[in-house]
Each structure stands twice: as structure tokens, then as C-alpha cells.
Structure 1
């Protein structure tokens, strides 16, 4: 993908140059939209994600400041992803029944694992929910993508102070990194996530590693682990529930 070189002063662009840069980065928008769509139910339209991503790209072009010492492509990716997440929230694409299922599964996970002192098995959780194992897997399939963007949102209250909506989890260097409290908070949060990932059951940990660090698709991960793509999606959903629970506990304890 041919991208323009970072460092040009975007804010002083004339209309033609600005339009040219938008067109140059449309492939990046489509790429990110397709990556995100893989985590979502089929009824979510890819065109809606692309349209939201273009809004994020335009926002990035208008706000990019080369003096901050980052590449425009890095900044644009962050803004595009954020705009797509915002678009998903505004669409309210998750049915109320699915939100109810999500809350029920999260509560059951937390209660069972507190009682057992270990990760609950699928059989134990399905029994706790009062459903068969096949029905439990259907519920996990329904929850595909519901937790998308939660890590980005987690520090939203703290980040609103700078008006940018940046998250401490999304690492884009800026002046705030000179703040010792910011550095400590980011380090602490990273440690919480790292520890939570280490504690995941083996297959869930492999899925998280291959998906987020090696950037394999669900289908590719299925080939590596010799399981179906659907099973990979279910493992991903369970790992996100566990990680969100760990982060939620962290935030709640910080507030005490």
C-alpha cells in the first residue's frame, strides 16, 4: 500500500492536496473496516464501518500535528479505528436480547470462578446458565463482537480531559507521557492485562496471542490450532469476557 510520507504539514494543505491524501488512505480505511468486521455479526454492514472510518481519516488529517513525533499513518489508524467504534455504538447494533445474554454470561463467569477459585469449564458454565452445551455455544456465537472496543473505552473518563478521546491502552506518544502519574497508570494497567492474559486457559491465550499480536485471522488461527473458525470465535469471546472482568475489577478497586 503506497502511503504518503509523514511529516508534511497537513493543516496548511489546500483542498486538492487534502482530497488527494484522503484518496491515498482509503485503502487503509477499507482494510481496517474489514478487519473489524470479522469480529462482528453478519448483519453489520461493512459500508457503515467504511463510512465511519472515512470520518476518522478526515479527523486525523485535520488534527495531525507532525511536531508530536509520530507517523501520520500511526495516528490515522488510531483515529480510524476510534471512529469505527464510535459509529458502531451510535448504530446500537447489539439487540437488547443479546445485551441481556452478555450480562448473564459475564455474571455467571464471575460468580462461578469466584466459587471455584479457577476458570470455569464450558460444561460448568452451561449448567450454571441452565442450558445445554450446544445452546451455550450458540449464546457465545451471538455475543461475537459485543465486547469490541471496550478496551479503548475503558479509560475514556480520564482521557476526555484532553478532548481527544485517547486511551491509555492505545499507545500513541504525546506530551502527556511526561506525566509521572500517566506513566505509572499506563504501566499498572498493562501489568493487569498481561497478568490476566497469562492466566487464561491455554487455547484462549493462544487465540489472543495469535489474533492481537500475530494478527492472524480467525480462519488462520483455526488452521494453526486445528479447530473450526467458529470454535476460534467462541474462544475469543470467552477470553474477552475474562479480560474485561479483570479490567473491571481493576477499575472498581482503583475507585475505592
Structure 2
């Protein structure tokens, strides 16, 4: 009963989209409506020409005092006008149907475009969901760990080098560093002794030259200067004898 009143529902494809047949039917219907409109417009134009012709005849018969013929022409004109009005009503209804179909097609195209975008978005989300991202990051981390293990294995000593004891080598290195430190300290002390000895034995060291200052201090004659002169004079006297 429902199908008889409203017709069968439109066929749809498995993904919910209108089938190609439905879209083709809508296009075909609009083309057919357009053809009918053209035909009705042509018929209306013919009727308008007939109406004008009958009106012209009625005017001529009226001038010729042929009242009956003039009335018959006016009757035909009325019939043609009624047909023209009916054709105009048909055209209006067809125009209304054309507008509805065009709107429906535009709506269908819009929904189809939106649906295609939604399907594409779902496909992208399936390819880049959070689970896949987590798995990818886990794979990368696992690969990095494996690469590190491989590098450590390649860097591990083999053969004779594998028998060396790191603790023993570190102890030997500390011993060498201590020996070098002792040698450096001994060399430093030797240099200090060499530089200080001439300073202590030099006669000038006992009589340092006074540093000039802003206020000049009177120089004092060292106490032992006279005794050294006496000893020198006595030595010269003995050599003269």
C-alpha cells in the first residue's frame, strides 16, 4: 500500500550512495521535461498566432457587417485562448518539477562530495591511528636497541686484548702518574736550588743595592767593609816582601 501511494524507494548502492542508475534517471527526467517544455512553448506560440488571426478575421467580418462570421471567429479565439492557458499551466508545472529535480540533483551531488570526503578521512585515520603510531614507535625503539647491541658487540675486545684486566691497567696508570709527579717535583726543587745558590754566595747579595724611593735615605757603610780593606792591605804587604 505504501509503495502504491508513494512509489518504491530509490535504489542505493551497498555503501549508501545513490546508485548510478538513480542519478542517470534523474538526468534523463530533466532532459525529458526540457523537451516537453520546448514542445509546449512551440504549441503555445502557434495558438497565440491563431488567436491573433481569429481576432483579425473577427475585426474584418465586423467591418463587413458579417456579424455571424465575426462571432464564430471570436468563439475560435476563445477556444485557442483556453488551450493556451492550459499549455501555460502545463509549462508552469513542468518548470516547478524541473526546479525540484535540479535542487535534488544539487543536493545529491553535495552529499556525495561530503560522503567522499568522509570516506577519504576514514581511510586516512585507519592508516594513521594511534595504535599504528604506537607500534611504529615501538619498532623504531626495538631497532635502535638492536643496533646498539650490535655496535657494543663489534666494539668488544677479542683475542689477546680480551685477557687484559682493566683494574690492573688502571692501577698501573695511577703508578705512572705518581712517578711522573715525583719527577716533576724533584726537578722543580733542583731548579729552585740552582737559582738560589749564586744569590747566597755572591758578594753583591750581602750588599743589595737600595731601592730608590721618593725620599732619599743616607747610605750606611757596612760594618765589615773596613775589615776586608785591612785584610787586603796586609796581603799586598806580604806579597811585596
Structure with the greater alpha carbon radius of gyration: 2
Structure 1 length normalisation: TM-score?
0.22
More helix by share: 2
